[in-house]
């Protein structure tokens, strides 16, 4: 035990074992591995294996019922020339740009609203949280009814003289509508995260700022925002990954084709459409999935890097 701790201590300090030193065959005790085995097995079978399998498949022309052969980078080359890939990438990116700022800011404002312990506030907290627990299919259907050409929203717009809008038939309105649903459904979830963060902001800081004459807006900007900044980064990272991988909202509102002429297709919808069914192109869909993975990892790194720069 003593020697192993010395070795790890040396490694921590950057020391190297002299090459002349006798090689010691290190063995790992089995006990911890046995305890970790169930978790490792589940991770291996349900996360690692599908991931590696997807990467491997992306280099083949595998189809649902036909194993396929190795085709090198052909799938990646093909997607560079696939219009639908670029449409999907555009829409997924627009989704991040449209949804993330709203999901970072609005839940924070909502959390500030419901933070105070006043009578009846629990009702509002629950009400704001309700969309989070509602099934996305139910939410999607309700919004489709509301935004239909003859739905409630269009009837109201017509009553006030604005006229009917093609929320479910116009390419851009459809995407915006789906974004609005995503924001509406996500508000409560991120509000809860912010409520936890706000509970840790020392009250004295607000009191001191008030004494110095700071108004509500200034207190928000100089006390609240810096105090919950790391939570905002977390919300930004989580929501940007979720937004880039959006599927259900757009699928339910735009239909399986991804809106008129497929113009509202997102990358994950494209993966689903390409890779499933009896004639699914599993190899090509895998290449698309790998791209989605790389972009989401890049997004996470970008957000975390921005956070680190702020800290520096």
Partner 1 sequence: MRISRRVLAAAAAVAVVLPLSACGSGNDGGGSTDASGKVEGDITFQTWNLRANFKEYFEGVIADFEKKYPDTHVKWVDQPAEGYADKISADAAGGTLPDVVNVSPDLVAPLAKAGLALDLDKSAAQYRKEYLDGAWAGHQVPGMTGTYAFPWYLNTGPLFYNKSLFEKAGLDASKPPTTYDDLFADALRLAQKTDGKVATLANVPTVEDFGRYGVELMNKEGTSFAFNDAKGIELLTKYKELYDAKALDPQALTATPESSGKKFLTGAVAMNPGSALDLGNFKKQAPSLYRNIGITDQITSTGKVNMYVMGVMVNSRTKHTPASVAFAHFVTDAQNQMSFAKKVAIFPSTAGSLDDPYFTKEDGSDETRVRIAAAKSLKNAVNYTPVLFSEQMKTALRNEVAKALQGKESPKTALDNAVKACDRLLQQQG
Chain positions contacting partner 1, by CB under 8 A: 25-30, 33, 44, 48-49, 52-53, 56-57, 60-70, 148-150, 166, 168-169, 174, 254-257, 259-262, 273-274, 276-281
Nearest to 60 by CA among 51, 50, 68: 68
Note whether 189 and 132 are within 8 A (CB).
yes
- For every residue of 55-103, DSSP letters joined together read HHHTTB---SSS---B-TTHHHHHHHT-HHHHHHHHHHHHHHHHHHHHH
CB of 98 to partner 1, least distance (A): 20
CB of 287 to partner 1, least distance (A): 14
177 or 239: CB nearest partner 1: 177
CB of 5 to partner 1, least distance (A): 18
Nearest to 292 by CA among 272, 263, 262, 307: 272
CB of 277 to partner 1, least distance (A): 5
61 or 307: CB nearest partner 1: 61
12 or 26: CB nearest partner 1: 26
Instruction: Say how far apart CA 270 and CA 58 lie, in whole Å.
Output: 15
25 or 203: CB nearest partner 1: 25
CA dihedral 108, 113, 118, 124 (to 10 degrees): -90
CB of 6 to partner 1, least distance (A): 19
Helix (H) or strand (E) holding 208: helix 203-211
84 or 187: CB nearest partner 1: 84
CB of 47 to partner 1, least distance (A): 11
69 or 230: CB nearest partner 1: 69
| Cα 209–Cα 212–Cα 217 angle in degrees, nearest 5 | 50
């Amino acid at each position: 035990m003593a020697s192993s701790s010395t070795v790890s201590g040396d490694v921590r300090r950057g020391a190297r074992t002299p090459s002349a030193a006798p090689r010691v065959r290190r063995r790992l005790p089995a006990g911890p591995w046995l305890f970790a085995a169930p978790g490792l097995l589940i991770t291996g079978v349900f996360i690692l294996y599908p991931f590696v399998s997807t990467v491997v498949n992306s280099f083949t022309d595998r189809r649902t019922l036909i194993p396929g052969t190795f085709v090198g980078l052909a799938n990646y080359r093909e997607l560079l020339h696939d219009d639908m890939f670029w449409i999907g990438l555009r829409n997924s990116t627009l989704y991040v740009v449209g949804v993330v700022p709203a999901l970072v800011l609005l839940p924070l404002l909502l959390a500030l609203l419901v933070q105070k312990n006043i009578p009846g506030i629990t009702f509002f907290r629950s009400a704001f949280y309700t969309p989070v627990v509602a099934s996305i299919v139910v939410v999607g259907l309700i919004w489709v009814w509301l935004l239909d050409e003859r739905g409630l929203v269009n009837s109201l717009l017509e009553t006030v003289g604005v006229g009917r809008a093609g929320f479910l038939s116009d390419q851009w309105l459809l995407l915006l509508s789906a974004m609005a649903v995503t924001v509406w459904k996500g508000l409560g979830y991120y509000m809860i995260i912010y409520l936890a963060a706000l509970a840790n902001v020392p009250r004295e800081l607000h009191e001191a700022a008030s004494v110095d004459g700071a108004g509500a807006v200034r207190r928000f900007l100089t006390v609240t925002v810096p105090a919950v900044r790391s939570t905002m980064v977390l919300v930004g990272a989580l929501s940007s990954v979720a937004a880039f991988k959006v599927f259900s909202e757009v699928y339910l509102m735009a239909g399986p084709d991804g809106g008129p002429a497929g113009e509202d297709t997102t990358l994950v919808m494209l993966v689903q459409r390409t890779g499933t069914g009896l004639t699914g192109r599993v190899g090509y869909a895998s290449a698309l999935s790998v791209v989605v993975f790389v972009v989401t990892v890049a997004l996470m790194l970008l957000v975390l890097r921005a956070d680190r720069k702020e800290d520096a």
